[in-house]
Structure 1
Amino acid sequence: MLRVENLDVWFGFPPDRVDAVKSASFTVATGETFGLVGESGSGKSTILRAIAGLIPSWSGSIEVAGKAVTGSHRDRAFYKTAQMVFQDPYASLHPRHSVDAVLSETLRLQGMGDIDRRITKLLEDVGLGRGFRFRYPHQLSGGQRQRVAIARALAAEPRLLLLDEPTSALDVSVQAEILNLLSDLRQEHGLTYVMVSHDLSVVGHMCDRLAVMQHGRILEVMDVDALRRGEGQQDYTRHLIASSLGYQRA
């Protein structure tokens, strides 16, 4: 579903250029959930944004469903295949647009018909009743807003979802609900996920494989079973796993 080879992503121009991602390569099989993990600033979210066409300055090869993408332009066919869910549902929804307006606009942009029925179905799919249809973001909780953001991503009927820390801005009590929703949607719709997270417990619960990143580079790609056993090939990976377990008495 996704192939990334020798991806470089940078910001700015010499002498102030910052190389955010360096020679990153990985593949994601159809139906798989693939994680990108690492400390803040390691380049995880930058990779997703380059795939989604939100960053123009990159080189290398990106293929989605066998089709190469170039530059920062993405056509309608791309967005029918891949969609992104952002970290902060407070920022990703327009404050003056109702849920109905958000979903209607997305459906029209994708050339969809039968919009009324589709909106009802989308809200049901993400666990919101039709009573939420004409509410505004300020009338929703953080978890409800993220459900709307997921519904917006599903409106195009994509096969690949790029998930950028989809639960990190939410209360702990709500995080599990959203993760369970994403698991259910993956099965129901046959979706493929690429998930960025700094939380290894989330990755261990959701993902099949993961790439560990540091300073813009992918250090290793590993199975989630190795993560659960704490068996990284690289010292940094083992340190990351140990850190995620919290304080341990010497």
Structure 2
Amino acid sequence: MLTVEGLDVWFGYPPDRVDAVQDASFTVAQGESFGLVGESGSGKSTILRAIAGLIDTWSGRIVVDDQQVEGRRRDRAFHKTVQMVFQDPYASLHPRHSVDRVLSETLKLQGMDDIDRRVQRLLDDVGLGRGFRFRYPHQLSGGQRQRVAIARALAAEPRLLLLDEPTSALDVSVQAEILNLMTDLRAEHGLTYVMVSHDLAVVGHMCDRLAVMQGGRIVEVMKVEDLRQGAASEAYTKSLIEASAGYVRA
């Protein structure tokens, strides 16, 4: 479903150029859930944004569903295949647009018909009832907003979802609800996920494989079973696993 080869992403120009991602390569099979982990500033979200076409200063090769993508321009066919869910569910929704308008306009942009039925089906898919259809973002909890954001992403009937820390802005109890929802949606719709997270427990729950990033580079690609068993080969990955396990008493 996704191939990334020799991806470099940078911001600015010499002498102020910053190389955010360097020589990143990985593949994601159809139906797989793949994680990108690492400390803040390691380049995880930058990779997602380059794939989605939100950054145009990149080089390398990105292939989505056997179609090579170039530059920043993405056509409608691409966005029907690939959608992104962002970290902040409030900032990603227009504060003056109702849930109905958010979903209806997205469906129309994707050339869909039977809008009314599709809006209700999307709300049902993400566990929101009819009573939420005409509410505004400020009338929703953080978890409910993220459900709307997920419904908006599903409106195009994509095959690949790019998930940029989709639960990090939510309370722990709500995080579990959203993660379980996304697990169910992946199974029901046959979706492929690429998920960015700094939380190894989330990646361990959601993903099949993961890439560990440090300083803009991928230092290791591993199976989630190896992550759970602490069977990392790189020192940096081992330190991440140890840190995620909490402090060890002296």
Task: Give me the TM-score of the superposition, normalised by structure 2.
Answer: 1.00
- Separation (CA, whole Å) in 1 of partners of 2:241 and 2:184: 27
List per-residue Cα deviations over 1:158-189 (Å, max 9, x = no partner).
Answer: 00000000000001110000000000000000
What is residue 223 of structure 1 aligned with on the other side?
223
Within 2, Cα distance between the matches of 1:187 and 1:99?
Answer: 25
Q: Distance in 2 between matches of 1:48 and 1:213?
A: 13
Matches within 5 A, 1:104-115: 104-115=104-115
User: Structure 2 matches for 1:123-142, cutoff 5 A?
Assistant: 123-142=123-142
- What's the secondary structure of 1:156's corresponding residue? coil
| Over 2 Å off, 4+ runs | none
Q: Which residue number in structure 2 is paired with residue 89 of structure 1?
A: 89
CA distance in 2, matches of 1:136, 1:165: 23
Tell me how far 1:231 sits from its aligned partner.
Answer: 1.2
Q: Secondary structure at the match of 2:36?
A: strand
Displacement of 1:45 after TM fit?
0.2
Q: What residue identity is the alignment partner of 1:134?
A: F
Q: Equivalents in 2 of 1:98, 1:74: separation in Å? A: 27
User: C-alpha distance in 2, partners of 1:246/1:179?
Assistant: 22
Corresponding residue pairs, total? 250
The CA deviation at 1:249 is: 1.3
Q: Cα deviation per residue 1:91-114 (whole Å; 9 max; x = unaligned)? A: 000000000010011000000000
With the length of structure 1 as denominator, give the TM-score of the two structures. Answer: 1.00
Return the alpha-carbon distance in structure 1 between the equivalents of residues 128 and 77 of structure 2: 28
Q: 2:168 — aligned with what?
A: 168
Q: What per-residue deviation string (whole Å, max 9, x for no partner) do you get for residues 118-157 of structure 1? A: 0000000000001101000000000000000000000000
Q: Does 1:233 align with 2:223?
A: no
Equivalent in the alignment of 1:58: 58
Residue 222 of structure 2 aligns to a residue whose secondary structure is strand
TM-fit CA distance, 1:60:
0.2
Q: What is the DSSP-based 3-state SS (H/G/I as helix, E as strand, rest coil) of the residue aligned with 1:92?
A: coil
Match of 1:211 in 2: 211
SS where residue 84 of structure 2 aligns? strand
* 2:157 corresponding residue in structure 1: 157
Q: Which residue of 2 aligns with 1:191?
A: 191
Secondary structure of the corresponding residue to residue 213 of structure 1: strand
SS at match of 2:90: helix
Q: CA deviation at 1:38?
A: 0.1
Amino acid at match of 2:73: H
The one-letter code of the counterpart of 2:50 is A
2:26 is equivalent to residue 21 of structure 1? no
SS of 1:90's equivalent in the other structure is coil
Amino acid at match of 1:171: D
Q: Secondary structure at the residue paired with 2:91?
A: helix
5 Å matches for 1:31-46? 31-46=31-46
In the other structure, the counterpart of 2:200 is: 200
Aligned CA RMSD, in angstroms, stands at 0.4
1:69 equivalent to 2:69? Answer yes
What are structure 1's unaligned runs of at least 5 residues?
none
2: CA distance between counterparts of 1:18 and 1:126? 39
- Match of 1:238, SS state, is helix
Q: CA deviation at 1:228?
A: 0.2
Q: Distance in 2 between matches of 1:154 and 1:202?
A: 21
The residue type equivalent to 2:14 in the other structure is P
Deviation (angstroms), 1:200 = 0.2
CA–CA distance in 2 between the matches of 1:235 and 1:146?
Answer: 35
